[in-house]
Amino acid sequence: MAFQTPPPPAAEPTDGFPWRTEFRRLCRLAAPIVATQVAWVAMLTTDTAMIGRLGAEPLAGASFSLMAFFIGYMFCFGVTMSTAGLAAQAYGARRPRIVRRVIRQGLWVTILTTLPFVAAFSQVETLLVWTGQPPETLPHAAAYMSTLMWSLPMGVAFAVLRNFVAAVDRPQAALWVMAAGVPVNALLDYALIFGNFGLPRLELVGAGIATTTVNVLMVLALAALIQWRRPFNKYQVFARFWRPDWQIFRRIFAVGMPIAVMTVLEGGFFISAIFVIGQFGAVAVAAHIIALQMPHLTFMIPMGMSQAATVRVGQMAGRRDAVGAYRAGWTAVAVTTAFMAVMTVVIVFITGPFSRIFMDVDTPDADQVLPLAQSLLLLAALFQLGDGVQAVAAGALRGVNDTKVPMLNAVVTFWGLGAAVSLGLGFPGGMETQGVWVGFVVSLTVVALLQAWRLRSLQRKAYLPDLVGD
């Protein structure tokens, strides 16, 4: 059928208060995106909580595999994250065919980038031996990765489809699918890890099967909504799927590769910390993983707001409205700053109860793991604000395709300053795990200042990116 152009986002009356109007529009877009992120991390938290019931060594081994998996995921996710800004710009410019082509080529990029990582993940035990991790954790790590690795292509494909529904101002569709996936994941974990409902007890292998199965189901469900439900079906995203569009394919890589590098540098800094902390033993690793669950949870708000900022800034950039684009970016930064300031206070008061969610006090080594986890949670409270600001400022910059300078900021702060502080305090300084976490605090604070400065610099120039042509 002939393509019918959907109406562009309607401009709401401001009543003389454009910032208030932008706040409403941003929150309306961000709420389902944030809820989707929270649902996603709820799946991971469920996995961690159930695996933790198997003991410190299975938890540590699974954590090693999960961290290695996330390095691959963050790279592939980072490259395809460019589809959010490019699709939003095309939507704002009233170019629906370009929206379709961006998402289609994003799925091509997903296939190209994920398959090499799946092959590499099969050698995770060799990696852990090479990095000198505790030998008792290696069989657990290999068992978990043997089934977890197959979820990578589906997880990244879901992210591309989620970028599409957000770019066209309908992010609720991804939320519905993700929300349905949370209880399914919990049931599969409970059944396959512990052998309930008449199924075999597969422990870590079962945890990976559960994750992969849920990712496959979610991609199929969201793809079905896009294919058959209005207004998505007007875009015919999957029509002529194998038809190339090399200009857009190259643009996805040109914009997305710096995002991927920045994401890996930032996430890799935190993930590589587990391999450093592994030198201090399985107890330190288990405490580190437990403490990380809190910033993972709270970071979902800035992460969702960052994606919303990319879309809102991109839409306004597509309309060639520089004032509106940067207003959207700073509104997202302000909302995130307020939220993370509150969370800083909250974390201080819940360190004990929160850490006990992930390990029973009667579990072996709990008397060593839980006090250390609680001390790390206090350090997590210190880096909440910087973590949120840097993420949302970077998201706003992606909305105008500015990705190279933010990447360089990440190189300097995480792998220069942050790594030096973490290693210096962790080993010569004698602070061990706490010293590594102080490096988190320093690096996140500095990179937040640099990304905000970059956003302000582009605002002064009223910078807008060139659009992908028809």
According to DSSP, residue 95 is labeled -
Q: Quick count: other Cβ atoms within 10 Å of Cβ 349?
A: 10
Give the mean pLDDT of 162-184: 90
More confident residue, 224 or 291: 224
Does residue 5 have a pLDDT over 60?
A: no
pLDDT at residue 409, rounded to an integer: 93
Residue 203 pLDDT level (bands cut at 50, 70, 90): confident
pLDDT at residue 11, rounded to an integer: 47
Does residue 470 have a pLDDT over 70?
A: no
Residue 429 pLDDT level (bands cut at 50, 70, 90): confident
Q: Are 99 and 161 in contact (CB under 8 A)?
A: no
Q: Quick count: other Cβ atoms within 10 Å of Cβ 310?
A: 33
Residue 453 pLDDT level (bands cut at 50, 70, 90): very high
Give the mean pLDDT of 143-149: 88
pLDDT at residue 140, rounded to an integer: 82
Residue 461 pLDDT level (bands cut at 50, 70, 90): very high
Q: What angle do CA 294, 296, 301 make, to 5 degrees?
A: 105
Q: Are 203 and 50 in contact (CB under 8 A)?
A: no
Q: Which of 160, 455, 417 is nearest to 336 (CA)?
A: 455
pLDDT at residue 49, rounded to an integer: 81
Does residue 313 have a pLDDT over 90?
A: yes
pLDDT at residue 287, rounded to an integer: 82
pLDDT at residue 16, rounded to an integer: 62
- Annotate 182-251 with DSSP letters as a single string: HHHHHHHHHHHHHT-TT----THHHHHHHHHHHHHHHHHHHHHHHHHSTTGGGG-TTTTTT---HHHHHH
Give the mean pLDDT of 158-165: 93
pLDDT at residue 14, rounded to an integer: 55
Question: Where do the domains of the chain lie?
Answer: 18-461
Average pLDDT taken over every residue of the chain: 86
pLDDT at residue 288, rounded to an integer: 85
- Buried-exposed string 198-231: b where 16+ CB fall within 10 A, e elsewhere: eeeebbbbbbbbbbbbbbbbbbebbbebbeeeee
Give the mean pLDDT of 339-349: 89
Q: What's the pLDDT tens digit per position in 46-59?
A: 887 888 778 777 88
Comparing 70-84, 150-164, 259-273, the range with the smallest average pLDDT is 259-273
Does residue 135 have a pLDDT over 80?
A: no
Comparing 122-131, 171-180, 222-231, the range with the smallest average pLDDT is 122-131
Residue 336 pLDDT level (bands cut at 50, 70, 90): very high
Comparing 248-257, 363-372, 455-464, the range with the smallest average pLDDT is 363-372
Whole-number Å distance between alpha carbons of 50 and 5: 47
Give the mean pLDDT of 456-462: 94
pLDDT at residue 362, rounded to an integer: 66
Give the mean pLDDT of 170-183: 90
Does residue 249 have a pLDDT over 80?
A: yes
Residue 151 parent element (H or E): none
Q: What's the pLDDT tens digit per position in 374-396?
A: 888 888 888 889 999 999 999 99
